[in-house]
Amino acid sequence: MSESVEVKLTSDEALVLFEWLAQLDSAVASLDANSAEQKVLWKIEAQLERTLVEPLAPNYELLLKEARRRILGAT
């Protein structure tokens, strides 16, 4: 078993990454469900889903839009 790696993200980055992974999961059927890449993507998405509360908020789309704006403004 390999060692754990910790990746630090801001809450905005985590929210945008979660949304991107969710969209990718819905749109891309080309990855084999048994591929290592697909399993890693599912694991990251599941970890973000357990951590984030914003996806359940009634104003999720607004929260996501604001997070994207802050990220783009920070560069």
Q: Which pTM was predicted?
A: 0.83
pLDDT (tens place) for every residue of the chain, 75 residues total: 689 999 999 999 999 999 999 988 776 666 677 788 888 999 999 999 999 999 999 999 999 999 999 999 975
- Rounded to the nearest angstrom, the gap between the alpha carbon of residue 60 and the centroid of all alpha carbons in its chain is 14
What values do phi and psi take at 30, rounded to 5?
Answer: -75, -20
Q: How far apart are CA 60 and CA 12, in angstroms?
A: 12
What is the sign, positive or negative, of the torsion defined by CA atoms of 56, 58, 61, 67? negative
For the chain, how big is the Rg over CA atoms in Å?
Answer: 14
DSSP codes of every residue in 42-53: HHHHHHHHHH-S
